[in-house]
Structure 1
Amino acid sequence: MKNLFLLMAFVLVLAGAVSGMENHQPDSVQQTFNKDFVLHVKKTTGPIHIDGKLDEPDWVRAEKANNFFRVLPVDTGLADAKSEVVMTYNDQAFYLAFTFFDSSPGKRIMESFRRDFVFGNNDNFLVFFDTFLDQTNGFSFGTSASGAKWDGIMHDGSAVNLNWDCKWESKTVHYDDRWVTEMRIPFRSIRFKSGTDRWYVNFSRLDLKMNEKSSWAPVPRQFPTASLAYTGVLDWEEPLPKSKTMFSLIPYVYGSVAKNYEAGSKTDYQKDVGFDAKIGVTTSMNLDLTYNPDFAQAEVDQQVTNLDRFELLFPEKRQFFLENSDLFAGFGYDVVTPFFSRRIGLDAPVLFGARLSGKLNNNWRLGLMDMQTEKTADLPGRNFAVASVQRKLFARSSAGLIVVNKENIDEPGGAQDFNRVLGLDYNLASSNNAWNGKFFYHHSFDEDEHEGGQYAQGAHLEYKTRNIGISFAQTSVGTDYNAEVGFVRRKGYNFLGPSFSYTWVPNKKIVAHGVFAESENFYDTEFRKIDHEQTVGYNFEFKSRATAQIGWLDFYVHLLEDFDPTHKNDVYLPAGSEYRYGGAWVEYASDNRKNLKWSGSYTKGTFYNGHIDLVEGMLGYRFQPYVNFTLNMSYNSIRLPQPFETTDLWLIGPKMDITFSDKVFLSTFVQYNEQIDNMNVNLRFQWRYAPVSDFFVVYTDNYFTGDWASRNRALVVKLSYWLN
C-alpha cells in the first residue's frame, strides 16, 4: 500500500509537469512514407445524424479519399472495388463516412455481429490513426458489413490490441450496389496532442467477394495495411480543440456461487462491488484506477496439448492492463520478458491498483503501474510495481528503460522477500518498415546470493521485402536470472536462430509461393549444444484464398532433467540422454469466404526414442451473421518403447457463438482435454445494454474424463456501467 500512495503522490506532481512539457517541449515529427497522400478535413457547419444516410451538406462538400490501391493478392495498380471515405469534425467529435461499391454480384460476407470481428472472415472497413505522428502508436476503428464494430489500440508500428474498447457510434446501411457506414468518435475517447492540425491516417478495405484488400495510401503486400509507416496525412481545417479533462467511472456489482467437488469443500457464495476509473491527466496521458476488480467475464483460453518441457504462454485479455501495454509488456521477447501481467491476480485476488501511461511529448512516453494483491491462506499479500520510460530515436526507433519490483507484504518475522528486474531495450524500425530489430539487456535482483548469471540479453534483426525475408536472433539467459513477474521459458542457455524465406508472386491460380527455412539452436552456458530445431518448408497461396504448406522438421534434444514427453506416464527419459528425431508435415486451409470452411495438418515422424502421429484440424460453419460454429481438434498418438505405454491424447473443442444483434451475445465453449484429464464447459452471456456497459452471466463446469465425475463448477453474474 505504501508503494501505491507514493505512486499516487507522484502522479499528482507529474500532472502539472506533463502539461508543461506538452506546451513547451519541441516535437520531432517524422515524415510519413506516403506524405503526398493528403486528405483535407473541413469543420462541420451543421449537425450530423448517424443514420447511414450521407445527405447532410457537410458530407456533400467534404473532400473524398478514393482511388484505393490494391494490396492483396498483389500490390499492383488501383483496386477493382471502388471505395470512398469522407471526414468532418466539430469541437466534440470527428466523423467518418465510407461508401463501398460492389464490383461483383453475390452476398456480402459477414461472419457475425460480434465486436472486434476476425478481420479475414468479413467484408470490412478499417481506419488507422497515428495521432502523435510517431508511426509507432495509434488507434484503429472499423466496421464489418454486418455493422459489427472494431476498435483497438495500436503499438509496435502495426499491431492492434482489440481487447481495448471505448465509446463511439456507428450505423451501417445496405443498398443493392453498395454498403455505407457512418461513424462518430468523440475526441475524448482517444489520446492526441491538443492544438495540432495534423494526424497520419490510412483507410483499408477488405472485399472478400473480389478477394481484394486495398488501402487509400499504398502499402506493400508484405506488410499489413495497419502499418503506420505507410499512412497518409490527415490535414484538419482548424487546429483541434483542447480536450477537456476526461473522467470515466465504471462501477460494477457481481455475485457468484461455486462448488469444488474435487476438494470436498462447501458451496461458496460471494457478492461484492468494485470499480474502474479512467482519468485523463492530459490529452495524451491516462490514469487508470481499479478497486476490487473482477475479471470473470474475460474469454477463456483455448487449450493446447503440451508436449514441450516448458511453460506455455497465453495472452493477456483483461482490459485494465491493455492501454499502452507495450510500455510494460513490450520489453524483451515473448519467451523472456521481465513483465507479464497475467502473473498478477490469477493466484490471489487484486485489492486495488493504479496505472499511469501515455506520452509526455512526441519523443517521450511514460508508464507507471502499482498493484496490490490480497493475503490468502497460501500466499502473503504482495505488491507489484512497474516503471518504464521510452525515448523515440531516429525515424521510428526507440530506447526504453524498465524497472519491475515485487515485494511480499507482512512476511513473518519481518523477513524481506523481494524480486526486482532492471532492463534496457533498443527497438529498431526503419522509415519504410523493411528493417526491424531489437536489442535488450535485463538484470534481476533479490535477497539471495548468486553464483550464476542474473542476466537476460538478446538481439534480433529482420529484413523484409516483397520477395525476401531474412532474420537473425540471439539470446543469452543466465542460470540465476529470476523474473518472478515476467515470463521466462528456460534459463541457463544461449540461443542462435537464423531464418530465410523467398516468395514468388506470379498472381495466377497460385498467387504466391515460396520456400522458407529456420534454424533454432540452444547451447548451455559453456556453448555446448543442448537443443536444436531445424525447419524447411514450402508454402502456397491460392487465388481462392486457400493456403497449403509442406515441410520437414529435425530435432535434437540433450535432456538436462528427467522428462516424460507425454506428461501422462509415471516413468521418465533420464537426464543426460540425447535424442535426434524429426518428420514431415503437410497442412491445408480452405477458402474462408465460404460458409463451410476447414483446415487440417498431419505430421508423422520419430519422437525422442519412439514415434508420433499428430493430426490437427478445424471445421467451421456459419449461418451469417447470427451463428458461427467451430470445432477444433488435436490428436497425438505417441509410441515410446517400454516401460512407456502407448499414449493417445485427444483435445476436442467445439464452440458455438451466437450473436442475436450487435448488443446481445451468447458463446458456449467446450474443451475435452485427455492430457490434463479434464472437460471444461464455459458459457458466457453478454448484453451490452448501453455503450461499453455490460450485463454478464458466466457459467463454468469441469469434469474428469472417463467417469465424468464433477470436479468443480461456478456461476458468476456481473453488471457494469460506464459513467463519463
Structure 2
Amino acid sequence: MLVFLKWFTNFASMHSLLITSLFLFFVLFKSNVLGEEDLGKVRLVYGDLVYISGLNGAAPEGSQLAAANTSDPSLEVIKHVNDMVIARKLDYRTHLSENDRLITVKRADAPLNGRARRQAIATRVGEGPRVDGRLDDAVWQQAVPVDGFIQRDPDYWMPSTERTVARILYDDEQVYFSFECFMSEHYQMVANNMRRDSEIWGDDNVQLLLDTYNDRQTGFFFFINPLGAQRDLMLSNEGRSYNEDWDCNWTCKTQRYDDRWTVEIAIPFSQLRFKPGEDMVWGLNMARNIASMNEESQFVVGRRSSSTRARYWTSDIGELRGLSVTEAKRSMQLKPYVLPGTSRDYTIAGSDERGVFETGVDLRYGVTPNISLDVSYNTDFAQVEGDQEQVNLTQFRLFFPEKREFFLEGANLFSFGQAAERTGGGSRPPTLLFYSRRIGLEEGAKVPIILGTKVAGKEGRTSIGALNAFTDDVTVIDTEEDDTTNVYQTNYSVVRLRRDFLARSNIGMMVVNKQVNDPVQGWDVYNRSLGVDFSLSATEELNFQGFYARTWDSEIGDSDDARYVSMDYSGTLAAFRARLLDVEESFEPAVGFVNRRGDLEGFRQYDLSARVRPRPENDMGIRYLSIGPQFQMVTDRNNNVKNWSFEVSWWTNFNTGDWWRMEFSHTHDVVDESFEPSKKRDDIAIPVGTYDFSTFTFGPSPSRSRKFRPRVFLEAGSFYTGHRYTVRSEMVFQPTGRLSIETNWNSNWIRLPLVHLNITAMSTRIMYSFSTDFFVKLFAQWNNDRESVSTNFLLNWRYRPGSDVFLVFDNGFGTEGDFHRKNRSVLVKWSYLLGL
C-alpha cells in the first residue's frame, strides 16, 4: 500500500508540473510574449489585400491582426485558401512589406462572411471628369484607388495575372468609374465586338455590378470591352435571373495604349433606383476578364463555382461607401417618334402600295426616386427583329422570347412562374402566369397598342409593379392557313407585389386580367389569374421556390389551379435540382404560357437532375468537367405516365474556354392523339401508340474569344416509328471588331416506314459597326417546312443617348411552287429623347 501511495504521489507531482508548465505557456501565448509558431509572415501585399503564411488555424475569418511589435489592429482576415491567410487592410494607407511579422490580436468568436466586407470609397467632387477614356482629368487624383483584383477562375483567390486599378467619383448628377487595365509584354488583347449589346463577355472586358438597394437580391450589371462596346443587364433573385434586354442611358469611352487599356464610365443617378440619404451603402463588385487566358478576376470573390453566371450573383459582393445623395431628382423623359413608310401585302389580290405615317410618344416619370411611371401612346416596334425560325417535332408549343422595349423594362419584376431550362431530351419552355407577348401579337401578326402604362419600382423591402395596355380592333390574315381572325378591342391589366424577408428571400402575388370588347357580349368576356409565389434561400447554396395560381375564364365557365415547388442546391463541386409542376384541367392563363401537350388537359410534371463538376489536376488542359443525369416525367391527372425522358451528359471545359459536349438520352412517349411533325406534309402523322427512342448528341463549342467559332452538334437515333438524324450548327466569323457574320442551321432527316422527310431552318445575320453607336444589319432566314423566306435590313444610328434613327426594309417570300413575294415594307423611324 505504501509503495502504491509513493508511486501515485510521484506521478501526480510530475503531471502537476507538466500541467502547470502548459498553463504558463498558454498564459504567455495569450500575452505579448510570442512563440515563433504564433507569428504570421507577409508573403504578398496586393492592393489592400495581404497574403500571410504561418498563422494556420490561429486566425479564423473575422480575426484582426497587427504587426508583431504593436497591439493596434491593422488587418482583418477575410479568407483562408490552402495554407494562406488573406486579410484586408482596415486602412488602405497601412504600409506593410514582404516578410513583416504579424500576430492575431483579436480572434473572431464566430467566422464572419468576409466576402461582403471589402469596401471601395466613392469621392465627391464639384464637377465630374470629361468622359473620353483618357483619365487625364486632374479630378481623378482625388479618387481612392481600388486594386488587388482576385481571380475567380482559374486560380481561385490568387492575385490576377494582370494589374487592374479602379477609381470612383460622383457629383450631383452622376457616378463615375474608371478602370486601368494594365498589360504585360506578351498580353494578347481580344476585342471582337463593337456594337452595343453584342456578346462582349467573350472579349476582354471590365464589369460593374451595382446593388443600389443593398438588398443582395437585385442589381444593375454593366460590361465594357476595349472597343467601347457596352452591354447592360438588370438582375433579380440574387442574380440567378436577369433581363439582358434592359437598356440604361449611360456613357462610356475607352482608350488603348501599349501597356494598358482604359475605361471611363458615367452613369446618371436618374437611371438607377435607390433610397437617397447621407452615407449610403451600395452593394458593389468590379471585375476584369482576360479572354486569351480565360481568366476572370474580381474585386470581391464569392464561393467557388463553375457557373458562368457566378459573376451576376449579388450575394457575393462588397460595399461602395462614401455616397451622399440627399435628394434624387424626379426625372421626366419624353421620347416622341415619327414613322413614315410604305408597305404592300401581295397575298391580297389587287392590293397596292400603302403609305404609312405614324406618330407616338413614350413618357417616363420618376414618381419617387425608386418608382417610375412609363406611358406609351401608339406604341411601335418597327425596329424589332423578327422571331428566329424554330423546328418543332414535338406535341408541345413553341416559346418565343420578348424583344419589345416597353415590356422589357422591369420584366424581372413581372416574372411569375417556372423558368425555362434544359431537361432530359431537350429543353423545356417556361410556365408563366404573365407572358407579355400575349399583348399586341396575334398568330405572329401585330395588333395596334393604343396606350400602355406601367409602374414599377421598389420602396424599402417591397417591390411594386402595375401594367395596363389597351389594344385596338384588327383583322389578322393567316396566309399559311388561308384564314382570318377578328381581334377585338382588349384591355390587359397586371398587378405585381413582392416583399423581401430574411436575408435573401421573398414572397409575392400577381393578378392578371384580360377583358375583351366582344361585339355580342360587350366587355363581359374575360380571363383572370391570381397567384402567390415565394423564393426562400436557406443558404447560399440551397434555394426553394414555388407558386400557387388559379384562373377564371368566362368562356370555359370554370376555374382551376396550378402548383409548383422546386429545390435547387448549387455547391462548389455538385448541384442538384428537383421540380414538381401540377396543372389542373381548366387552368388556362390567357395572358400566360403553359407548355401543355395537345392531347393533355391537366398534367403533372416531375424533374430531377444532378451534376458533379470536378476540376482534374492534370496537364491535359482541362479546367473542369460537368457530368450528370437528368430525368423528366409527365403524367395525366390520374397519374398515368404520358412521357418520360432520361439523359446523361458530359461537358468538358478546357483552359482555352472551348467546350466539348456529349449526351445520351432515351425517351418514352405515349401518343393518345396522332400529330403531324411537318406543317406542310399533313399527310404524314405519328399514329397513336407507345414509343421508345434514343438519341446520341456530340460536338464542340469553341470559346467566344475566337474570331471563328464553328459550333456543330450531331444527333442520331430512333424517332417514333423510324429514325432521325440532326445537324445543328452555329457558325460565327468576326474578322474584325466591326464585322460579324453568323449562320444558324438546324436540319432534320426523318426516316419513317413509308416516307423520308427533311425539315430545315436556316438563318444568316451580317452586321457591320461603323462605331459603337452606328451599325447596319442584314438578317435572312428560311424554313422549308413553312415554305417561307424572310429578310430584314436594319440601319441604326444612336445620334445621342436614348435617341435613334432606324431605317428598316422587310421582305417576305413564299417557296411553295414558284418563288414569289408575299409582303414588303420600307420604314423610317426617328425618335428623340428629351430630358425635362
Distance between the aligned counterparts of 1:370 and 1:567, measured in 2? 36
Alignment-derived partner of residue 656 in structure 2: 544
Tell me which moved more, 410-419 or 63-72: 410-419
Q: Cα gap change, 1:374/1:346 in structure 2, threshold over 3 Å: closer, same or farther?
A: same
Q: In 1, are the aligned partners of 2:628 and 2:649 still within 8 Å (CA)? A: yes
Tell me which moved more, 518-527 or 260-269: 260-269
Q: 2:331 matched to 1:221?
A: no
Alignment-derived partner of residue 212 in structure 1: 295
Distance between the aligned counterparts of 1:119 and 1:302, measured in 2? 21
Alignment-derived partner of residue 577 in structure 2: 471
1:271 to 349, 357, 370: 357
Note the C-alpha offset of 1:608: 0.7
Alignment-derived partner of residue 461 in structure 1: 567
Q: Cα gap change, 1:415/1:621 in structure 2, threshold over 3 Å: closer, same or farther?
A: closer
Q: How does 1:361-376 map to 2 (within 5 A)?
A: 361=460, 363-376=461-474
Distance between the aligned counterparts of 1:94 and 1:414, measured in 2? 52
Distance between the aligned counterparts of 1:414 and 1:313, measured in 2? 31
Q: In 2, are the aligned partners of 1:307 and 1:567 still within 8 Å (CA)? A: no
Distance between the aligned counterparts of 2:338 and 2:114, measured in 1? 49
Distance between the aligned counterparts of 1:681 and 1:73, measured in 2? 43
Note the C-alpha offset of 1:449: 5.5
Distance between the aligned counterparts of 1:721 and 1:563, measured in 2? 50
Alignment-derived partner of residue 358 in structure 1: 457
Q: Secondary structure of the equivalent of 1:342? A: helix
1:236-259 deviation line (CA, Å, top 9, x unaligned) = 1x5223111110000000023221
Q: In 2, are the aligned partners of 1:539 and 1:549 still within 8 Å (CA)? A: yes
Q: Secondary structure of the equivalent of 2:201? A: helix
Q: In 2, are the aligned partners of 1:33 and 1:229 still within 8 Å (CA)? A: no
Alignment-derived partner of residue 505 in structure 2: 397
1:291 to 369, 377, 391: 377
Q: Counterpart of 2:269 in structure 1: which amino acid?
A: F
Alignment-derived partner of residue 27 in structure 1: none
Q: Mark the runs of 5 or more structure 2 residues left unpaired by the alignment.
A: 1-111, 421-429, 476-485
Q: In 1, are the aligned partners of 2:747 and 2:761 still within 8 Å (CA)? A: yes
Alignment-derived partner of residue 483 in structure 2: none
Q: Counterpart of 1:603 in structure 2: which amino acid?
A: E
1:717 to 805, 816, 828: 828
1:189-212 deviation line (CA, Å, top 9, x unaligned) = 111111151100101211112221
Distance between the aligned counterparts of 2:583 and 2:464, measured in 1? 27
Q: Say which structure, 1 or 2, has more relative contact order (CA 8 Å, 6+ apart).
A: 1
Q: Secondary structure of the equivalent of 2:413? A: helix
Alignment-derived partner of residue 668 in structure 1: 778
1:551-591 deviation line (CA, Å, top 9, x unaligned) = 21101111132211233422354664111111211121123
Distance between the aligned counterparts of 1:151 and 1:629, measured in 2? 23
Note the C-alpha offset of 1:371: 0.3
1:374-398 deviation line (CA, Å, top 9, x unaligned) = 0124111000000011010111111
Q: Which has the larger radius of gyration?
A: 2
Alignment-derived partner of residue 702 in structure 1: 812
Q: 2:662 matched to 1:577?
A: no
Q: In 2, are the aligned partners of 1:32 and 1:135 still within 8 Å (CA)? A: no
Q: In 1, are the aligned partners of 2:180 and 2:263 still within 8 Å (CA)? A: yes
Distance between the aligned counterparts of 1:298 and 1:449, measured in 2? 35
Q: Counterpart of 1:371 in structure 2: which amino acid?
A: A
1:520 to 608, 632, 651: 632
Q: Cα gap change, 1:89/1:524 in structure 2, threshold over 3 Å: closer, same or farther?
A: same
Alignment-derived partner of residue 134 in structure 2: 53
Distance between the aligned counterparts of 1:110 and 1:608, measured in 2? 46
Q: 2:263 matched to 1:177?
A: no
Distance between the aligned counterparts of 2:635 and 2:508, measured in 1? 28
1:652-671 deviation line (CA, Å, top 9, x unaligned) = 21211110111211011111
Q: Cα gap change, 1:50/1:262 in structure 2, threshold over 3 Å: closer, same or farther?
A: same
Q: Counterpart of 2:287 in structure 1: which amino acid?
A: S
Distance between the aligned counterparts of 1:663 and 1:414, measured in 2? 48
Q: In 1, are the aligned partners of 2:128 and 2:171 still within 8 Å (CA)? A: no
Q: 2:438 matched to 1:343?
A: yes
Distance between the aligned counterparts of 2:509 and 2:185, measured in 1? 52
1:319-356 deviation line (CA, Å, top 9, x unaligned) = 11122212212334442111000111123210001100
Alignment-derived partner of residue 3 in structure 1: none
Note the C-alpha offset of 1:594: 2.4
Q: How does 1:546-695 map to 2 (within 5 A)?
A: 546-571=658-683, 573=685, 576-642=688-754, 645-695=755-805
Q: Counterpart of 1:226 in structure 2: which amino acid?
A: Y
Distance between the aligned counterparts of 1:599 and 1:33, measured in 2? 41
2:276 to 194, 203, 222: 194
Alignment-derived partner of residue 64 in structure 2: none
Q: Secondary structure of the equivalent of 1:129? A: strand
Q: Secondary structure of the equivalent of 1:160? A: strand
Distance between the aligned counterparts of 2:268 and 2:194, measured in 1? 22
Q: How does 1:350-499 map to 2 (within 5 A)?
A: 350-361=449-460, 363-377=461-475, 378-409=486-517, 411-414=519-522, 416-430=524-538, 432=540, 434-448=541-555, 454-490=560-596, 491-499=601-609
Tell me which moved more, 382-391 or 213-222: 213-222
Note the C-alpha offset of 1:109: 1.4
Q: Cα gap change, 1:469/1:720 in structure 2, threshold over 3 Å: closer, same or farther?
A: same
Alignment-derived partner of residue 532 in structure 1: 644
Q: In 2, are the aligned partners of 1:554 and 1:580 still within 8 Å (CA)? A: yes
Percent of residue pairs bearing the same amino acid type? 27
1:92-133 deviation line (CA, Å, top 9, x unaligned) = 111100011114535521122211221432111110100001
Tell me which moved more, 45-54 or 81-90: 45-54
Tell me which moved more, 268-277 or 409-418: 409-418
Distance between the aligned counterparts of 1:474 and 1:298, measured in 2? 36
Alignment-derived partner of residue 340 in structure 2: 255
Q: Secondary structure of the equivalent of 1:120? A: helix
Note the C-alpha offset of 1:70: 1.1
Q: Counterpart of 1:557 in structure 2: which amino acid?
A: D
Q: Secondary structure of the equivalent of 1:641? A: coil
TM-score by length of 1: 0.92
Note the C-alpha offset of 1:429: 2.8
Q: Secondary structure of the equivalent of 1:300? A: coil
TM-score by length of 2: 0.80
Distance between the aligned counterparts of 2:683 and 2:518, measured in 1? 41
Q: In 2, are the aligned partners of 1:337 and 1:488 still within 8 Å (CA)? A: yes
Q: Cα gap change, 1:229/1:413 in structure 2, threshold over 3 Å: closer, same or farther?
A: closer
Q: In 1, are the aligned partners of 2:565 and 2:580 still within 8 Å (CA)? A: yes
Q: Counterpart of 2:763 in structure 1: which amino acid?
A: G
Q: In 1, are the aligned partners of 2:193 and 2:199 still within 8 Å (CA)? A: no
Q: Secondary structure of the equivalent of 1:163? A: coil
Q: Counterpart of 1:638 in structure 2: which amino acid?
A: I
Note the C-alpha offset of 1:80: 1.0
Tell me which moved more, 324-333 or 568-577: 568-577
Distance between the aligned counterparts of 2:458 and 2:521, measured in 1? 42
Q: Cα gap change, 1:33/1:305 in structure 2, threshold over 3 Å: closer, same or farther?
A: farther
Q: How does 1:129-148 map to 2 (within 5 A)?
A: 129-148=210-229
Alignment-derived partner of residue 241 in structure 1: 326
RMSD: 1.8
Q: Secondary structure of the equivalent of 1:599? A: strand
Q: Secondary structure of the equivalent of 1:283? A: coil
Q: In 1, are the aligned partners of 2:525 and 2:555 still within 8 Å (CA)? A: no
Q: Counterpart of 1:459 in structure 2: which amino acid?
A: V
Q: Counterpart of 1:641 in structure 2: which amino acid?
A: P
Q: Cα gap change, 1:515/1:413 in structure 2, threshold over 3 Å: closer, same or farther?
A: closer
